[in-house]
Amino acid sequence: MKMQNSLTLKVIILTAVASSPIARNERQEHFHKLLLISFDGFRWNYDQDVNTPNMDTLAKEGVKAKYITPPFVTMTSPSHFTTITGRWIEDHGVIHNMMFNTETLRKYSHKATQNKTEWWDNQVLPLWITAQNQGKKTASFHYPGGGANYSGQAVNRSLVEAFDHPDSNETEWRENIDIVMNWFTKEDFDFVTLYYGEPDNIGHKFGPETENRKAIIQQIDRTIGYLRAAIEKYGLSNTLNVIITSDHGMTTVKKKPNVKEILLINYIKFSDLVKFDILDYGGFGMILPKPGKEEEIYQVLKSAHPNLKVYKREEFPERFHYSKHERILPILLYGDPGYSVNGRFILYVNKGDHGFDNEDMDMKTIFRAFGPDFKKGYLAEPFDSIHIYPLMCHLLGVQPEPNNGSLALTQDMLNSAASKNLLLPILVGSTIVVQLLICI
Ligand SMILES: *[C@@H]1O[C@H](CO)[C@@H](O)[C@H](O)[C@H]1NC(C)=O
Ligand SMILES: *[C@@H]1O[C@H](CO)[C@@H](O)[C@H](O)[C@H]1NC(C)=O
Ligand SMILES: *[C@@H]1O[C@H](CO)[C@@H](O)[C@H](O)[C@H]1NC(C)=O
Ligand SMILES: *[C@@H]1O[C@H](CO)[C@@H](O)[C@H](O)[C@H]1NC(C)=O
Ligand SMILES: *[C@@H]1O[C@H](CO)[C@@H](O)[C@H](O)[C@H]1NC(C)=O
Ligand SMILES: [Zn+2]
């Protein structure tokens, strides 16, 4: 009897929630604010050979995934946009860090694309815009894609990284945290994305297996300590969920005389065969052949170098979910881990790089989360970064756009208060059954 009564009560409440016009707003009150932080190029195991007391504490107070898999191509803008849209790269169309035009032959650097709506806005809405359309207030602090307009709408507040922005100024890192804390407390923002350019920059410059990289991880760890203290100081501990993640890992670039480097001009004559190319950009490259030259380039390059993978666009492995977008050039190339795809010459600048196969462990990256809706001390199994999007929508109480992620992969990290919303549709669905039971 008792059980039936409580069931009856639940049914009544649920029916009321479902039918009341103010129900949505009331329900929104129960959703917490969300901060998404990305540290560019944070390989999954960077915290394992250096002291990271704050990240260790975070793992005890929240959720840590063993690692996560970024989408292919393992590159900054494409991967960040998958996180904020929940769509594969071939769907959202931000297929490279560089914007390019095969008619004008122009290329725009990663930073130069940040203000270019035409590169980002391909009919796939990022979470900022979707959340704004559902009554939330959102902001982007240097996060890739935050500076563009989508279907004519801008992110409510957006700071775009300047060309000369320093990547590793620890004082500025802390100031940025305070700015964001004020956005949440003084201006009632619901969702903020915050981006840091490290440890990517150091990983490229010195290589991932160096003391320089260990030092920047310790700087990041101190910053995370500062963040935790700031959340406390601003009184946000019970109202703010935080996800800390990244876009890809990093691997040491292999160089002569240890290996035979990949240099395409050793095999093909560019002036005869190639109209346009995106090469010399880490582990991945693309070629637009001159008319009628596709087969020749493909046949020559296919067997050119034992550590070079070469595909025609239509034969690119499905598991990458990368090649279907119209911006993809006809010939795709990627190197085995550490083998950069060089074109006409080798720029001996980067000691570390990415862009390689996302199945390679060196390309895997991090996922941490804490806050009122997350379990404490929970170690999550690895998952694909594409599943972060439905998780964020769930935390914010935002109806997601069509996407390629699934909440099923991440819901175990939520505590019971946060996952009760998951039960709602199930309970509503079984209302009839329950009522029948009660009638009897
Ligand atoms: C976004 O739209 C606004 C208003 O139409 C415009 O002023 C601004 O320049 C646009 N920004 C970008 C990056 O396209
Ligand atoms: C945020 O932007 C949306 C448009 O995307 C707009 O409707 C809304 O009024 C803005 N909110 C604030 C608080 O500026
Ligand atoms: C983006 O646009 C803003 C406003 O016009 C400008 O101040 C800034 O320099 C631009 N940044 C980049 C990276 O182009
Ligand atoms: C680091 O940032 C702080 C605060 O923005 C600034 O005052 C300082 O000059 C910066 N230091 C360097 C070396 O750029
Ligand atoms: C990804 O999601 C979009 C939108 O629902 C869909 O059109 C597309 O087919 C999905 N891609 C895959 C590989 O399932
Ligand atoms: Zn990088």
Position 46 in a domain: yes
pLDDT at 418: 76
Nearest Cα residue to atom 11 of ligand 3: 162
Cβ contacts of 402 within 8 Å, gap of 6 or more: none
Number of structural domains found in the chain: 2
Distance, CA of 86 to CA of 312 (rounded, Å): 26
- CB of 384 within 6 A of ligand 5: the answer is no
Position 17 in a domain: no
State yes or no: is 85 an active-site residue. Answer: no
For residue 116, how far is its CA from the centre of ligand 3 (angstroms)? 10
Q: What CATH code is carried by the domain that includes residue 71?
A: 3.40.720.10
For residue 193, how far is its CA from the centre of ligand 1 (angstroms)? 20
Position 225 in a domain: yes
Position 319 in a domain: yes
For residue 135, how far is its CA from the centre of ligand 2 (angstroms)? 8
Same domain, 238 and 298: no
User: Which tokens sit at 259?
Assistant: 């290996």
Q: What is the tens place of the pLDDT at every residue in 195-245? A: 999 999 999 999 999 999 999 999 999 999 999 999 999 999 999 999 999
- CB of 345 within 6 A of ligand 3: the answer is no
- Residue among 276, 280, 291 at smallest CA distance from 328: 276
Does the pLDDT of residue 16 top 80, yes or no? no
pLDDT at 144: 98
Asked if omega into 21 is within 30° of 0 (cis), the reply is no
Q: What CATH code is carried by the domain that includes residue 285?
A: 3.30.1360.180
Does the pLDDT of residue 24 top 70, yes or no? no
Nearest Cα residue to atom 1 of ligand 5: 404
Nearest Cα residue to atom 5 of ligand 4: 172
Range of the domain at 388: 31-252+360-437
The best mutation among 118, 140, 157, 160 to test binding of ligand 3, ranked by most ligand atoms within 8 Å of the C-beta, falls on: 160
Position 2 in a domain: no
Does the CA dihedral 357-363-364-368 come out positive or negative? Answer: negative
- Over residues 291-307, mean pLDDT: 98
Does the pLDDT of residue 429 top 50, yes or no? no
Catalytic residue among 76, 85, 130, 365: 76
Which atom of ligand 1 lies closest to the CA of 154?
A: 1
Q: Which residues surround ligand 6, an ion (CB under 5 A)?
A: 200
Same domain, 96 and 167: yes
Distance, CA of 59 to CA of 244 (rounded, Å): 11
Confidence at 417, pLDDT banded by 50, 70, 90: confident
pLDDT at 318: 98
- Over residues 95-105, mean pLDDT: 97
Same domain, 35 and 140: yes
Using H for helix, E for strand and C for coil, what is the string for 366-415?
A: CEEEECCCECCCEEECCEEHHHHHHHHHHHHCCCCCCCCCCHHHCHHHEC
- Over residues 276-298, mean pLDDT: 98
pLDDT at 422: 58
Asked if omega into 341 is within 30° of 0 (cis), the reply is no
Distance, CA of 63 to CA of 43 (rounded, Å): 17
Same domain, 424 and 276: no
Q: Which of 309, 327, 349 is the last residue of a domain?
A: 349
Which ligand sits nearest to residue 78's alpha carbon?
6
For residue 255, how far is its CA from the centre of ligand 4 (angstroms)? 36
Q: Which of 349, 369, 394 is the last residue of a domain?
A: 349
For residue 75, how far is its CA from the centre of ligand 6 (angstroms)? 7
- CB of 175 within 6 A of ligand 4: the answer is yes
- Over residues 117-140, mean pLDDT: 98
Q: How confident is the prediction for the chain on average, in pLDDT?
A: 91
Same domain, 424 and 330: no
pLDDT at 9: 38
The best mutation among 115, 116, 140, 195 to test binding of ligand 3, ranked by most ligand atoms within 8 Å of the C-beta, falls on: 115
Percent of the chain beyond pLDDT 90? Answer: 88
pLDDT at 372: 97
Q: Which residues line ligand 2 (CB under 6 A)?
A: 129, 132, 137, 153, 156
Which ligand sits nearest to residue 198's alpha carbon?
6
Does the pLDDT of residue 419 top 80, yes or no? no
Percent of the chain beyond pLDDT 70? Answer: 89
- pTM check: above 0.85: yes
Q: CB count, 10 Å around CB of 12?
A: 10
Position 3 in a domain: no
Confidence at 29, pLDDT banded by 50, 70, 90: low
Confidence at 10, pLDDT banded by 50, 70, 90: very low
- Residue among 270, 292, 249 at smallest CA distance from 41: 249
Residue, of 11 and 56, whose pLDDT is higher: 56
- Over residues 407-431, mean pLDDT: 69
- CB of 115 within 6 A of ligand 3: the answer is yes
Same domain, 224 and 312: no
- Over residues 87-103, mean pLDDT: 98
Same domain, 94 and 235: yes
Same domain, 101 and 219: yes
Q: Which amino acid, residue 175? A: E
Same domain, 310 and 411: no
Same domain, 285 and 248: no
Q: Which of 349, 384, 410 is the last residue of a domain?
A: 349
Distance, CA of 181 to CA of 347 (rounded, Å): 41
The best mutation among 117, 119, 153 to test binding of ligand 1, ranked by most ligand atoms within 8 Å of the C-beta, falls on: 117
Residue, of 392 and 15, whose pLDDT is higher: 392
Which ligand sits nearest to residue 246's alpha carbon?
6
Does the pLDDT of residue 424 top 80, yes or no? no
Position 169 in a domain: yes
Which atom of ligand 3 lies closest to the CA of 147?
A: 1
Does the pLDDT of residue 410 top 80, yes or no? yes
Same domain, 329 and 377: no
For residue 148, how far is its CA from the centre of ligand 3 (angstroms)? 11
- Over residues 388-401, mean pLDDT: 98
Beta strand segments in 29-130, E: 33-39, 63-65, 68-69, 99-101, 106-108
Position 9 in a domain: no
How do 33-39 and 191-196 pair as beta strands?
parallel
Same domain, 157 and 85: yes
